Structure 1
Amino acid sequence: MNNKTRLKMNNETIKSKIIRYIKPGFIIFNVLLILVSISSAATSQTPYSGTALKVPGTIQAENFDKGGEGIAYHDTEKANQGNQYRPADGVDTEKTSDIGGGYNIGWTLPGEWLEYTINVANTGNYKLETRVANVGTGGTFHIEFNGVDKTGPITVPDTGSYQTWKTLTKTVSLSAGQQVMKIVMDKKGDYNVANINYIRITASQSSYSVTPLAIPGTIQAENFDKSGEGIAYHDTEKANQGNQYRPADGVDIEITSDIGGGYNIGWTLPGEWLTYTVKVANTGNYKLETRVANVGTGGTFHIEFNGVDKTGPITVPDTGSYQTWKTLTKTVSLSAGQQVMKIVMDKKGGYNVGNINYIRITPATTSAPIQTPTPTSTPATTRTPAPSLTPSPIVSGAFYVATNGNDANPGTEARPWRTIQKAADTLTAGQTVYVKAGTYKEQITVRNSGSAGKYITFSAYPGNTVTVDGTGINMNPGYGRDGGLIQIWGKSYIKVTGFTVINSGYAGLFVNTPGSYNNPPSHDIIFEGNTVKDSWAAAIMMFGRGSSNAENYVARNNIIIRGHMGGDPMAHESLSVGGKISNFEISGNTIKDSFWGAIDSKDGVYNGKIFGNTCTNTEMSCIYVDGYSIGADNIDVFNNVVHDMKNVGTESNGFNVNSEQGGPTTNIRFYNNLVYNNPGTAMRMASYRSGTEGKVDHITITSNTFYNNGVGNSNRGGIILERNDATNTVVRNNIIYNNGFGIKNSDADAIISNNLETNPSFVNPSANNFHLQVNSPAIDKGSAANAPKVDFDRKLRPSGTGYDIGAYEH
């Protein structure tokens, strides 16, 4: 007999009779007929309300199941001592004065129990709150689900009276479906166990994406469940040390330069963990690939599913840097259905456990590739490659574009559109288009906006090379001379990723506001993981020029080659942002072989981060921050690498900061950057202007490594401060070694201290390894003032008795 129906047999009498069945042509047989005469009716256990109580939800303690003593409950006395609500049952029930009124159970003693048939909506972790009251030392009880103790002992405090209530909280992991919850009284206090009013069970965590993460699929490490510390994750420090993506949570997250961009978790320590609500499509064996990065000896971690360790210890290797990535593979056996995946940090390596970007889970065995018929002979210009199998994950319900498509088609993978512009005309909030391999000679204008959390995404199909070629296209956007091969005018929540954009007559990727400064600007635009080559004016232009500041522009992990080809003074730098924008990010981009500058943030740029970029073989400055005519404020420039730039005289700088036409340039911070082997100056505060020179204030240059710049030229070197009217300039904790000069200063107000211009004892500068040897004079000689919290490798500062000078902490 199961838990749902139990026959009560103690008072039954059983009678039997043999009945003979005789039918012509058949064998005579006897049947023993058992007649059960029940003196007290057979009793089954059923929910009190007729249907299972819903979880999440509140379960009133007095609404235990029907079925009676020994089946739905056990009480040591037959009488209901409170004589309320269900007087025929033996459970002691009384009216409560708790908020909401109703009834509570009381007079509880060890060995008593109550059962409740419930239905749990989804597998996951739940917050279980029990409302209790008690006088004197309380007892203990626990709560089971399908016979398994999920809470452990719950100790009841002295609340002051039997009607003064307190909520006790536990976190429990529950499986989806109908089951029996059982409250079991374990230990008596001074008088009894406790009064109980209700049990409230709520989802203590939920998937970050609202719906469970799909398996097979890729689980981004930063998309751990919601609900915070101790429920969805545990982190030993309250602050998000990377201060990225989910800054309100304590998990340390930073932007990753791994293929595909996005974020990774880092600063991991033993005992920390993260949970993810997932849904496994089918029971079977899966290949589990974890993407990791680490410096030095790595630690170990493991991955659980519904509390069971499925991977065993995974050891993180030394990958060379915290942004050099390697994939570690395990095979795991998973059951179908919704469950909780948990990453648990076990053992620390040299500095921490390791960085984790994502976990990709795919079937351990795959079917043979679909055979594609040999294509018939067609002209080379129209030949389409055989289609590849759809990788996992792919957004379901997406649209498709292919060179063999037709814009009259519905845009499915089987019947794709022909042009990307068709997708740009059609897509609405939350929709994605995948563009298959090939060259598309068209200029694309995005016609619609997405919405918060529902970007319109234009993506090259994973693994395909998709080229947008501007050869022969007249770049006339209709709003003046600016424009791009892929352009966004006044639209928002747009993401463009994975394309190769070449031969643009103006910009490659472009965003701006039509009717400059008169209309609402675009916002929430992401250009990520693209390659842009041979643009006349700029590879990427992200301008606001609206009636208010444009918010949340991101240019991340793009490759720019010959991003500025023209000599027109109205052209821009390879990656240009400005014209009233705020909360912007320029990260992980590589710029090379370009004319007239690499990255320029100018003319109304606020609250930005420029980091993780690399510049090489490019004229002018790698990164220029210029208030121009509107202003620039609160911008961090860090963890960038500039090396082997082109030699075009004094303009071949690593970084430059200025105000050319009166716009104030304030609160700009340069730190943890590497500038080496360049013909020009590493860091310049320029004094040239094309109009009224503006205010330059609170420029901070700290903890950088500037090596071998402007060698042999007394006009080029380490740091030059040309502005004699700048205020609150700080130059501190920098290594400035083997340059044409160390520091040249025209700023009488500047604070210059704790910089090192003698040999810092690098590990191997000829191999561009600027870490410090153990005997380096830079170790512990820096100032704590203005020092960043971490170094170039994200190692915490300080690691010794003091802060080290330069971009690396020993």
Structure 2
Amino acid sequence: MARGHRSAGAVAAALAALPAGCATALCGPGAQRAALGVTSHAGLQRYVSQATGSDSADGTRRHPWATMGHATAVLDTMSLRRGGVTVHVLAGTYREPVVNDKDGRPDAYVTFVADPPGKVLIKPSSGRFAFRNNGDYVRIIGFEITDPTASEGIFLDASHDVVQGNHVYRVATIGCQNDDGDGGRSGYTATGDGIGDNGEEAGNVITGNRVERIGPSSRCDYKHGIYPSAARDLVRNNLTYGNSGSGIRFNHNIVGITVSGNLTFHNRNHGIHISGDDDAGGVARGFVITNNVIARNAMYGVNVNSNADDPGNEYGHNLFFHNGYGTFGRNNSKDDPWTPGRADGEVVDPAGLGMVDYRDDGTGDYHLRPAAPEADAGTPLGAPATDYDGVRRPQGHGYDIGPFELACPPTGHAT
């Protein structure tokens, strides 16, 4: 199809000749926790502990608060201190929806961090949002978030925020509405997403998250894994799979985003779907969709609506395999396959052989093997500086495609 293509037989032969385990030895699944830098934040440090805290305490390490709700309520003066404030949420299950209305500043972020990452579960059972942030310059790092009854897992009604290293799953499982009219239910439960933001905002970063099983277990056209709408967002190094709609879905804005280094697979609509805003007039522009692995989605790998089909959009250096309708399509039409003008360097891996252990259900190891077709086949355009595990990019002769950089010499000899 384009430069970089290798046949399945050639890939298999190359991989069989090289030692396995090189990638996972240097950047295994646990490495991302260290990369999140829980103790590296500047400024004031405060603590929340569901198990041992009290909201009448002072929030120090020795005297933590009990609830995130109290923490967000007392951040006004703290967030204005030099370096901002970091709220460390200690291990446990937190059953209240989280709402933050406090702003940080470019030099003084408000940071909410799970401490340790992956050991803090936010699991409310009421409300539209599990974690709603209305403050600019806020970071949300390292949480597990689930609420089948909520419409949104993490929602940003603000600008210049960072959502990093979270695991969001089983959100918005109630209700569905499809374009063909089946299964509709009124109310916000008919739409939903794992991570999303507001089209009136700008410049948010969604990076290094795992977003899965958003929506019911059947197709649902309005429930997506990652659903950004803000101008100039960066969506990088995420894994998003098994969702009722698309893995990554952009809408409601005339200014596009950068989507690079993601793995979006086994979704019931498209891997990546972009559209603009009909009410604003004109065609959405400024999309950079590069270095993504887009695999086994029920519809197109990348679907572009007419109101986002700007000739300046960039779609180069993505890897595709086994997307139901084909690689690129327009307007959700099964009968309208299409190749955009700026789509050089595309790569096809017919069976996902470049990954250590590809599996549809998210239980695989999606790091790269030596000689993977993804290796060194990416482009600097839109590429993140590090990968999902915090490994610096590039490691070899070029950027790798997907969320994991192969941290091994190109010869395949482990270091």
Same fold, TM-score > 0.5, yes or no: yes
CA contact (8 A) 1:626 1:665 kept: no
Which residue type is aligned with residue 432 of structure 1? Answer: T
**1:687 Cα deviation from its structure 2 partner:** 6.5
**Structure 2 residue aligned with 1:419:** 67
Whole-Å separation in 2 of the counterparts to 1:396 and 1:789: 33
Whole-Å separation in 2 of the counterparts to 1:391 and 1:609: 26
Equivalences for 1:157-172 in 2 at 5 Å?
A: none
**Structure 1 residue aligned with 2:227:** 576
Whole-Å separation in 2 of the counterparts to 1:453 and 1:620: 40
Which residue type is aligned with residue 397 of structure 1? Answer: L
Equivalences for 1:24-103 in 2 at 5 Å?
A: none
Which residue type is aligned with residue 159 of structure 2? Answer: H
Equivalences for 1:230-629 in 2 at 5 Å?
A: 325=26, 393=40, 395=42, 397-404=44-51, 405-428=53-76, 429=79, 430-463=84-117, 465-470=119-124, 472-473=125-126, 475=127, 483-489=128-134, 491-504=135-148, 505-512=150-157, 522-536=158-172, 537-545=192-200, 550-565=201-216, 571-578=222-229, 581-629=230-278
**1:394 Cα deviation from its structure 2 partner:** 6.2
**1:527 Cα deviation from its structure 2 partner:** 0.7
Equivalences for 1:564-713 in 2 at 5 Å?
A: 564-565=215-216, 571-578=222-229, 581-629=230-278, 630=280, 631-645=283-297, 647=298, 652-659=299-306, 662=307, 665-686=310-331, 688=333, 699-708=341-350
CA contact (8 A) 2:42 2:85 kept: no
**1:592 Cα deviation from its structure 2 partner:** 1.5
Whole-Å separation in 1 of the counterparts to 2:25 and 2:327: 25
**1:665 Cα deviation from its structure 2 partner:** 4.0
Which residue type is aligned with residue 640 of structure 1? Answer: N
- Change in Cα spacing, 1:670 to 1:433, as seen in structure 2 (3 Å) is same
**1:682 Cα deviation from its structure 2 partner:** 1.8
Whole-Å separation in 2 of the counterparts to 1:683 and 1:697: 6
**1:632 Cα deviation from its structure 2 partner:** 2.0
- Which has the larger share of strand? 1
Q: Which runs of 5+ in 1 are unaligned?
A: 1-317, 328-356, 361-389, 476-482, 513-521, 690-695, 710-764, 773-778, 780-786, 798-808
**1:565 Cα deviation from its structure 2 partner:** 2.8
CA contact (8 A) 2:291 2:379 kept: no
Q: Which runs of 5+ in 2 are unaligned?
A: 1-19, 173-191, 352-367, 384-392, 399-409
Which residue type is aligned with residue 232 of structure 2? Answer: N
TM-score by length of 2: 0.66
Which residue type is aligned with residue 492 of structure 1? Answer: D
Whole-Å separation in 2 of the counterparts to 1:392 and 1:603: 37
Whole-Å separation in 2 of the counterparts to 1:525 and 1:324: 32
Cα RMSD for the two superposed structures: 3.9
- Change in Cα spacing, 1:766 to 1:681, as seen in structure 2 (3 Å) is farther
**1:325 Cα deviation from its structure 2 partner:** 4.2
C-alpha distance after superposition, 1:29-60 (max 9, x if no partner): xxxxxxxxxxxxxxxxxxxxxxxxxxxxxxxx
CA contact (8 A) 1:667 1:698 kept: no
CA contact (8 A) 2:140 2:162 kept: yes
Identity %: 18
**Structure 2 residue aligned with 1:158:** none
Whole-Å separation in 2 of the counterparts to 1:790 and 1:663: 19
- Matched residue SS, 1:423: helix
- Matched residue SS, 2:315: strand
CA contact (8 A) 1:666 1:697 kept: no
The number of residues matched between the two structures is 316
Whole-Å separation in 1 of the counterparts to 2:156 and 2:327: 31
**1:393 Cα deviation from its structure 2 partner:** 4.3
Which residue type is aligned with residue 434 of structure 1? Answer: H
Which residue type is aligned with residue 147 of structure 2? Answer: N
CA contact (8 A) 1:615 1:643 kept: yes
C-alpha distance after superposition, 1:412-455 (max 9, x if no partner): 11111111111111224211100000000011111211112111
Whole-Å separation in 1 of the counterparts to 2:108 and 2:145: 25
**Structure 1 residue aligned with 2:372:** 769
TM-score by length of 1: 0.35
**Structure 1 residue aligned with 2:182:** none
